[in-house]
Amino acid sequence: MKIAIIDYGMGNLFSVEQAVLRLGCEAIVSANPQELLQADALILPGVGAFTDAYTCLEQTGLKEVVEQAVAKETPLLGICLGMQLLFESSEENGQHKGLGIFKGHIRRFDDKKARVPHMGWNELNFTNTAEWLAKENLTDRYVYFVHSYVATDFAEEQLIAYADYAEVRVPGIVQKGHVTGMQFHPEKSGSCGATLLQGWVNQLKVEVAK
């Protein structure tokens, strides 16, 4: 099974690639639209600022690749900033439009109530389930976050898990159809992150086998 990692110039590509390889999948890092759309699944990573990332997606033509993949129901996983890009908008450095796949808006943590950025290990609390998620396998539910902005006004039915931080319910995992988002870094989240990625990949294998 081939998983393609979208290289639009703002991703933590190497660590994500290594995490995919550890799961026994073929991993490719590519900015080639044809190559990306031929993969069994896509990962949209991301580090940095929302505006810069969205601009890079547009300028490289990879925004259309993401939209085409979603339209054809190719499984897509957004990680950290990659997840935030999938929401309707962000207030980072002004108001900016997002890809609009998930309902909600990206806003900065309140500096008066929270230490920004939100950096460190937090426990996931699960509110819904997903076909790929086997919660009984998660003996460790702590994952690693690094972010200053958080998804708000989200749809409860799209929320799979959240973490508590400074009186804020931080969406940790969201899902809509074949699109999944993880605000934390699963590739840096030890056994919990590995288990979550394995569950996501296992579901992909079921879909590919159909």
Active site amino acids: 80, 185, 187
Residue 95 has φ and ψ, to the nearest 5°, of -85, 130
Are the CB atoms for 81 and 47 separated by under 8 Å? yes
Q: Compute the radius of gyration of the chain from its Cα atoms.
A: 16
Instruction: Return the half-sphere exposure (C-beta side, CA atoms, 13 A cut-off) of residue 60.
Output: 19
- Name 197's Cβ contacts closer than 8 Å, sequence gap at least 6: 19, 20, 23, 186, 187
Residue 11's CB is within 10 A of a number of other CB atoms, namely 25
Nearest to 179 by CA among 63, 61, 87: 87
What is the DSSP secondary structure assignment for residue 159, as one 8-state letter?
E
Rounded alpha-carbon distances, angstroms, from residue 33 to 6, 37, 118: 9, 6, 34
